[in-house]
Structure 1
Amino acid sequence: MANTFFKFKQFTVHQDLCAMKVCTDACVQGAYTGRYFKDNQLTAPAILDIGAGTGLLSLMLAQQTASAITAVELDAKAALQAKQNFNASLWAGRLQLIQTDIRTWSVNPPFDFIITNPPFYESALRSGHAQKDQAMHATNLGYADLLKAIDRLLSASGEVSVLLPYPSFTGFEALAIKQGFYLKQVLYVRQSVNHGYFRTVGIFSRQPAETHITELIIRDAANNYTAEFIELLKPYYLIF
């Protein structure tokens, strides 16, 4: 049975109401995006988190930025849990949760930055668990619909961070280019030195640019966390 909460250095994520629990790859996306903000001295007064789940990504970015963060979640139970996690955090005053369908939701002015860990699988077998299928599979939000929502809700100079399975990323990037987005920075993630790539984190912008490519290996040959993984997650994980 999965833990009902996951404790980080500066916040706790309760997850008993959510189909999708805290996972390493989502933590990598949050930490990588937070470091992107820091390395580029990026200022984004308004951030949008699409598909908030437990609220993990919003909390990680709240720790690293001074931004106002709006999180949108379709599932009622997950939305309630994310709201509770926000209210219990140090940054409750600048975290907002909205339960709605991102495909029909509009806001003005648009956001300066968007982060999303969308449903992964557009054509894989369903589990039979409705809440989990909605979270893991594109049963309600396909990649094309997601990109249309991003295009509508992102400012002209804004950027977006997306986490996807490695095999799906090329197809998503092709759709993104058609929508007017270009891959600015990408992180290819391997579970260990003995595994191939399994996740990809991409940061897209509306301006064409040469793509900066990096790789992260989570565990070494002895099954210990690599120095690079420790350095990336050190601001968050209690064990580091």
Structure 2
Amino acid sequence: MVIKILENKKSASNYSEILLKYRYSIPIRAILAMAKAACFQFKQFKIYHDRCAMKVGTDGVLLGAWADVAGANRILDLGCGTGLIALMLAQRSAADCQIVGVEIEENAYCQALDNVAISPWSARVTIYHQSMQQFCRQSSQHFDLIVANPPYFESASQCRDQSRETARYVGDLSHLDWLLAAENCLSVKGKIQFVLPFQAGICLQQQLSATSSKLCCTEVCHVITKEGKMPQRMLLTFAFLTNKTSPKQSELTIYDQQHCYHSDVIPMFKPFYLKL
């Protein structure tokens, strides 16, 4: 039987309502597909992303697994979306480390709250419904680690979904704006770590060097999606340095030629992915 969910799917707050209403008419394969789309199961927590414009993706997992949590007592996740990175860092960090997520888009904010509430670290993770720049401007807190997977497209002319536009497109705020806003909340010995498209990462380094900011790019990791290809992503670390030096360079490959996870990332992803 071909299912018809009609408009009710749009008004339902989550997929469980749809499944309950249509439980006798939806084929099992459709139920399984909907459940898979609504939730991503990790080893120690799960992420529901059915109400979020941007779903669980490799960029977020990569940053959450790569970010340096050593010695961090306070961590800030700017534009936290579903709460994925915040929860990955909660799993990896010390038991007394406090984590704050900031999200402007209402549906994503509400979903992040729900994901945190059902996680093992709900007492350590707090989510704020605010713009990134407002939070950084008003906050009296300073963080040892600030992470962000910021919007990455320059133009939203082809995007019809406002929430997806907010999540994916740079808009009025450039990546440099994100970085300088984060600087306001960074502790003296803290780090800011971003994941960006490769060319955007190069551009951000150039833009930063032209400012009077005391931040310096200290580490650059080129991310190769598939072995033998050119880098597609860049992981960057920024910190306060008195004497600016060239950043440390490294490289990560995500998939090998057989499209299996590369040995570079298996140790990073193994604590999270069920099949590793």
Which residue in 2 is equivalent to 1:29? 63
Cα distance between partner residues in 1 of 2:173 and 2:81? 14
Which residue in 2 is equivalent to 1:142? 174
Question: 100, 107, 124: which is aligned to 1:70?
Answer: 100
Q: What are the superposed Cα offsets for residues 93-118 of structure 1, whole Å, 9 maximum, x if unpaired? A: 01000001121222113222101101
Cα distance between partner residues in 2 of 1:185 and 1:125? 34
Q: 1:125 to 1:197 in 2, by over 3 A?
A: farther
Which residue in 2 is equivalent to 1:87? 117
**Are 1:57 and 2:93 counterparts?**
no
Q: 1:7 to 1:20 in 2, by over 3 A?
A: same
Question: 179, 183, 188: which is aligned to 1:151?
Answer: 183
* 1:191-206 matched pairs, under 5 angstroms: 191-206=225-240
Structure 2: 5+ residue stretches without partners: 1-33
1 or 2 for the larger relative contact order (CA 8 Å, sep ≥6)? 1
Which residue in 1 is equivalent to 2:6? none
Of 73-82 and 105-114, deviating more is 105-114
Cα distance between partner residues in 2 of 1:101 and 1:124? 19
3-state DSSP class of the match of 1:13? strand
Runs in 1 of length 4+ with deviation above 6 angstroms?
none
Q: What are the superposed Cα offsets for residues 85-137 of structure 1, whole Å, 9 maximum, x if unpaired? A: 11111110010000011212221132221011011122465322211111010
Q: What are the superposed Cα offsets for residues 168-216 of structure 1, whole Å, 9 maximum, x if unpaired? A: 1111112333232212222111111242111111111111344221111
Cα distance between partner residues in 2 of 1:211 and 1:148? 18
Structure 1: 5+ residue stretches without partners: none
Name the amino acid aligned to 2:86: S
Contact 1:119-1:141 within 8 A present in 2 as well = no
Question: 216, 222, 226: which is aligned to 2:252?
Answer: 216
Cα distance between partner residues in 2 of 1:187 and 1:202? 6
Name the amino acid aligned to 1:227: S
**Are 1:172 and 2:198 counterparts?**
no
How far residue 157 of structure 1 moved from its aligned partner, in angstroms, is 1.9
Contact 1:5-1:13 within 8 A present in 2 as well = yes
Q: 1:122 to 1:96 in 2, by over 3 A?
A: same
Q: TM-score, normalised by structure 2?
A: 0.80
How far residue 3 of structure 1 moved from its aligned partner, in angstroms, is 1.2
Name the amino acid aligned to 1:169: G
3-state DSSP class of the match of 2:120? coil
In our comparison, the structure showing a higher alpha carbon Rg is 2
Cα distance between partner residues in 2 of 1:102 and 1:228? 32
Cα distance between partner residues in 1 of 2:133 and 2:148? 14
Of 9-18 and 218-227, deviating more is 218-227
Q: TM-score, normalised by structure 1?
A: 0.92
3-state DSSP class of the match of 2:131? coil
